[in-house]
Structure 1
Amino acid sequence: MTFYNRVEELNALASAFESPNADFVVVYGRRRVGKTELVKEFCNERPHIYFLAAQEAENRQREKFVEQIANYFDDRVPRIDGWDDAFGYLAEKLHTEDLVVVIDEFPYLISENDSIPSYLQGFFDEHLQETDSMLILCGSSVSTMESEVLGHESPLYGRRTAQLDVQPFSFKQAREVIGYDAVDAVRSYAITGGTPMYLTLFDYRQSLRENVQSQVLSPTAVLYNEPEFLLRTELRSPARYMSILEAIALGHTTPNEISGATGINSGPLSKYLQTLRRLRLIEREVPVTASGKKSKRSRYGVADEFLRFWFRYVEPNRSSIEEAPAIVYDGTIAPDLPTHVATTFESVCQEVVWEAIRRGEFEPYSEVGRWWYKEDEIDIVGLAPNKDRILLAECKWTSEPVGDALVESLRAKAENVRWGQSDREERFALFSKSGFVENLEEDLPETWSLFTLEDIDTMFSPEQDSHP
């Protein structure tokens, strides 16, 4: 498989490795996000020991760990009775050669022995610091990594020299992988999201319809049961969590709506929502002008495009998919897909705003997000740091060019956004899949910026990265 992107992450690891002292790096992030591939790419041309923990008995894990060390040094496997001896053996070897030592899926070790972080603390304090080696702990259970490795209560707290919270690819990063034209690229991203494994499963020589049928709607395909697998690896009883995710994916976004759709009372529901947020499967959103913690106008969204697609179209239609996947695609998915993609397009347009700020094409905005109040909603609102300027933007994934009606609608809604100074400067932007009616741009003042899908695609093309 081709390794894509992750330039910043690789540079961070390389800088740490080249520093004169020992390094302890924590790499974590959701499953399938590409942590293992990142670490292996980094280790590729460097002396290293890579150990992948598994869900098996502690003594067998320890034996395998010691075997990995012995094999690297062409040594006879010693008899080891405990983890302190195992790390002592590693320390002895690191005094002879500087290495990168990777322990992948570290939470599996902790689940068998919660004293492992204490043993590692001793190893770091007494041995690793005397070398020029690097220890990398890698894990997919974000909650375990944050509490047992990075948390204040962890014996390892304060010892890390670097940490990488590996995120899914943005649309700009995913665009390098997606081999479609601009329209199908956004549609495809709305299905796979930015998870590298999902992106690379699609064969971009085939149509989007063919890819969805073969990679998502086929009962033998990896992605057909993927969300259920992900939930079962994190949760003992995922049924209620799945019903919540399905409700949110189908448009029930407030706690009251989710409760009504699932039949789960508000008390237990808040705990389920908290767990799903901790697992990074859903996001809580409040209007960009509101205080995140205090606002009662919260909405929830599925945090991953693929999971949103799966819970919207696959989970509710499993029986039909087993019988006739083509009919499900043509009759259920295809007619509704523009609605699904419209939400993704808003996220892509937010990326455009940040990219334009980075390039100096837009003035700086410290916060960018959605805004809503009662019946009014604006897709993107940007708030300037000193509250003297505001950006208001709409994103349209429609088959018709955008015209004056949207301009007047946005101007009217702008008056209802209570934020900043009374004489604030108002900037506007429109993003449109199908472009704009003739002469619209010429008729608007300079405070308006218009972006076609081609403009967006050009902005995210690789050659644009050299732009100052």
Structure 2
Amino acid sequence: MTFYDRADELDALEMAFESAGHAFYVVYGRRRVGKTELLKEFCADRPYVYYLAAQEAEPRQREKFVTQVADHFDDRVPAVDGWDDAFDYLGECVAREQCIVVIDEFPYLVAENESLPSYVQSFVDEQLQETESMLVLCGSSISTMESEVLGHESPLYGRRTGQVDLEPFSFREARDVIGYDLEQAVESYAVTGGTPMYVTLFDYTYTLGENIKSEILSPTAVLYNEPEFLLRTELRNPARYMSILEAIATGHTTPNEIAGATGIGSGPLSKYLQTLRRLRLIEREVPVTAAQKKSKRSRYGVADEFLRFWFRFVEPNRSSIEEAPQVVFEGTIEPALPDHVATTFESVCQEAVWELIRRGTLEPYSRVGRWWYGEDEVDIVALAPQDDRLLLGECKWTTTPVGYGLVDDLLEKADAVRWGPGTREEQYVLFSKSGFRDGLRDDLGEEWLLFDLDDLAETL
């Protein structure tokens, strides 16, 4: 797979390795997000030992690890009785030659021996610290990495010299990969999301519909069962979690709505939602003007665009897809795709707002999000508490140009947003897929910014 972007993460790893003294980095993130590709890119042209752990018995894991180390240092493979011996041997090797040691899928080792973090701690404290070498622990099980490596209770707590929490590509980052114009790129991103593996699976010489049918709706395609596979690697009994994700993806976003759609009681549901949040599969959102922890107006959303697409269109239609994928695409997916993309477009516009703030096109704001109360909702609200300034914006993924009706509607909603003093300053921004009615830009004051797709393309 071609390596894209990740310049900041590469710079951090390279600086850590080149700096004086040892380095101990932790790299983690969801599956398919590109951790292994990042580490391979980092290790290229540098001395390294790369060990990819597997789900197998502990003696076999240890044997493969020691063999990998010995091969790099042109040694005979030593006999070791336990992980303490294995790390003692590794310590002898890295003491005589600066080297990067990568242990990928570290959680697989912990699953076979829960004492492994203690062995690594001894290695870091007693041997690695006396060298110029670097240890990198990498893992896809976020829960294991956060508890067994980064957590307060872990023997390794406080030992790391840095960490990389690798996130999926933002839309702006994914644009380097997506070979469509901006409108089609937004539509494609609404299907694949920013997970590098998913984005690079599409062939952008084909239409989006052709890619959906060949890479998602085909029972032999990698993405056809991908979400179910991901859940099974993290959860013993994923059935209820899948029903929750399907409920959220199909529009049931409050706890009461999710409970009604799944039949799961509020007590158990709360624990399931916490687990899905910990795995970064869903996000809890509250109105941007509300307190994150205290607000009872929470909504949940699927945290990944591909998972949202899959649980909305694929999971509910599996039987039909097996028999007639073309019919499912033309009758179910294609008509509903604009509505699905509209949600993604809001996220893309939020990215644009942050970029406009960084550029100075917009004045500084410290928080950007959505706002709702009762029936009223505003797609983008940004807060500048120090300056009593508020930004309100709408994002329209429609086939008709935006006119004065949306302007009047946003002004009316602005009065319902209770935040700041009565003398607060208000700014407005409109994003429209199909542009604006003639004369609208000229009729609005300096406090209004209008962006069509050409403007958005330039911004991003």
* TM-score, normalised by the number of residues in structure 1: 0.98
Give distance in 2, aligned partners of 1:326 and 1:453.
Answer: 30
% identity of equivalent residues? 73
Letter of the 2:254 partner, please give it.
Answer: T
Which residue in 1 is equivalent to 2:132? 132
Which position in structure 1 is the counterpart of 2:181?
181
Which residue number corresponds to residue 429 of structure 1?
Answer: 429
CA distance in 2, matches of 1:405, 1:292: 32
Deviation track 1:83-140 (CA, whole Å, cap 9, x = no partner) reads 0000000001111101000000001111111111101111001100000000000000
What residue ranges of structure 2 are gaps of 5+ in the alignment? Answer: none
1:377 aligns with 2:377: yes
User: What residue in structure 1 maps to residue 196 of structure 2?
Assistant: 196
List per-residue Cα deviations over 1:161-212 (Å, max 9, x = no partner).
Answer: 0011000000000011000111110000000000000000000000101000
* Corresponding residue for residue 439 of structure 1: 439
Report what 1:65 is aligned to: 65
Aligned to 1:55: 55
Q: Report the AA paired with residue 278 of structure 2.
A: R
Give unmatched runs, 5+ long, in structure 1: 461-468
Distance 1:287 1:148 in 2: 34
In the other structure, the counterpart of 1:295 is 295
- Aligned residue type for 1:222: V
Q: Give the RMSD, CA atoms, in angstroms.
A: 0.6
Partner of 1:110 in structure 2? 110
User: Which amino acid is 1:72 matched to?
Assistant: H
Instruction: Return the alpha-carbon distance in structure 2 between the equivalents of residues 407 and 334 of structure 1.
Output: 30
Structure 2 counterpart SS, 1:430: strand
Q: CA deviation at 1:385?
A: 3.8
Equivalent residue for 1:251?
251
Secondary structure, aligned partner of 1:27: strand
Corresponding residue for residue 357 of structure 1: 357
Q: Does 1:22 align with 2:22?
A: yes
| Structure-1 residue corresponding to 2:99 | 99
Partner in structure 2 of residue 80 of structure 1? 80
Q: Does 1:119 align with 2:119?
A: yes
Structure 1 Cα separation of the partners of residues 315 and 132 of structure 2: 50
- What is the TM-score of this pair, normalised by structure 2? 0.99
Per the alignment, in what secondary structure is the counterpart of residue 163 of structure 2? strand
Contact 2:29 2:167 in 1 (8 A): yes
Amino acid at match of 1:451: F
The letter of the residue matching 1:116 is L
Please give the residue correspondences for 1:4-15 in structure 2 after superposition, counting only pairs within 5 Å: 4-15=4-15
Secondary structure of the corresponding residue to residue 301 of structure 2: strand
Number of equivalent positions: 460
Q: How far apart are 1:393 and its partner, in Å?
A: 0.2
How far apart, CA to CA, are the structure 1 residues paired with 2:304 and 2:95?
44
Q: 1:387: how far off?
A: 4.8
Instruction: Report deviation, 1:71.
Output: 0.6
> Structure 1 CA distance, aligned partners of 2:360 and 2:429?
15
Distance in 2 between the 1:278 and 1:182 partners? 33
- What is the distance in 2 between the residues matched to 1:360 and 1:164? 29
1:282: how far off? 0.2
Residue 138 of structure 1 aligns to a residue whose secondary structure is: strand
1:45, distance to aligned residue in structure 2 (A): 1.1
Query: What is residue 463 of structure 1 aligned with on the other side?
Result: none
Which residue number corresponds to residue 313 of structure 1? 313
- 8 A Cα contact 2:385 2:420, kept in partner: no
Mapped contact 1:392–1:414 kept (Cα < 8 A): yes
Q: Which residue of 2 aligns with 1:396?
A: 396
Could you say what secondary structure the match of 1:95 adopts?
Answer: helix
Q: Which residue of 2 aligns with 1:214?
A: 214
| Secondary structure of residue in 1 paired with 2:284 | strand
CA distance in 2, matches of 1:135, 1:95: 13
Distance 1:387 1:292, change over 3 A: farther
Question: Secondary structure of the equivalent of 1:54?
Answer: coil
Question: Any idea what SS the aligned residue of 1:245 has?
Answer: helix
